[in-house]
Amino acid sequence: MELVYSTQNSDFDPEKRYRNPAHFDRPEAGVTHVVVIGDWPKVVDAYEALGVEVSVFQPLISQQAAAGNADAIVGLEQDNAALRAERDGILRLIDAAEGQSELEHPGAGELLIRLFGALKAIHEGFETLTGERDNLAGEVESLRAEVVRLKAAAEPVDHAEKIAGLKAQLDAANVPYRANASVESLEKAVSELPKA
């Protein structure tokens, strides 16, 4: 399959496939020959690295048009270069946001710096939330330990010895009581014993 990389807006050959080299990010599979119209070294290098035959042509611009539009062409080339650099910077920031690399200040570009600032704020927010979560987890563990301690302190005291002592006093005074009498009822019965 042959691909033509060109920025043209008209006069397309219906028998050929065209791509805009300004949007190039990687070579396409199954390509056997590439025609590049203009100065697009990234496209040329990528396909040549795969061993694909590449033909490079300069766009057909008349000398008069080229002379008259030289400033405009230079301006457009600079704009394209700036846009490609900004796109590359955005891709680096996306990689950093996805955790594939470190988040680094892009250095230039209003959009890049704004995006970097937003991503940095989000990252710092996550770090703050992670710290707060870890602190809360520590507090939860402390509270769990306190609950265990309070439960242990609130468990009923073994009254077996006390009950045995109260029953012995009632037996000595020949006072009847229920076998399953509570501590309180036994204490009341003992308190009602005549003082000797």
pLDDT tens-digit map of 111-127: 778 888 888 888 888 88
Query: CA 180 → CA 114, 174, 186, distances in Å?
Result: 79, 17, 10
Of all residues in the chain, the percent with pLDDT exceeding 70 is 90
| Element containing residue 19 per DSSP (H, E) | strand 17-19
Q: Phi first, then psi: what are they for 36, rounded to 5°?
A: -115, 120
Q: Is pLDDT of 145 > 80? A: yes
Span 143-153, mean pLDDT? 83
What are the residue boundaries of the structural domains of the chain, listed by start?
Answer: 2-61, 102-155, 160-191
Tell which residue, 29, 41, 46, 38, has the closest CA to residue 4. 38
What is the spatial distance between Cα 144 and Cα 28, in angstroms, rounded to a whole number? 60
DSSP state of 157: P
pLDDT at 42: 95
pLDDT at 40: 94
Span 129-149, mean pLDDT? 89
Q: What is the mean pLDDT of the chain?
A: 84
pLDDT at 157: 60
> Beta-carbon neighbour count of residue 38 at 10 Å?
16
The residue behind tokens 């029953």 is 167
Query: CA 106 → CA 59, 83, 115, distances in Å?
Result: 34, 14, 9
Residue 1 half-sphere exposure toward CB, CA atoms < 13 A: 9
Q: For residue 153, give both structure tokens.
A: 């302190």
pLDDT at 63: 47
pLDDT tens-digit map of 59-107: 765 444 555 566 677 778 888 888 888 888 888 888 888 877 787 877 7
84 or 22, which is more confident? 22
Residues 6+ apart with CB under 8 A from 193: 169, 170, 173, 175
Q: Phi first, then psi: what are they for 89, rounded to 5°?
A: -65, -40
Span 47-60, mean pLDDT? 89
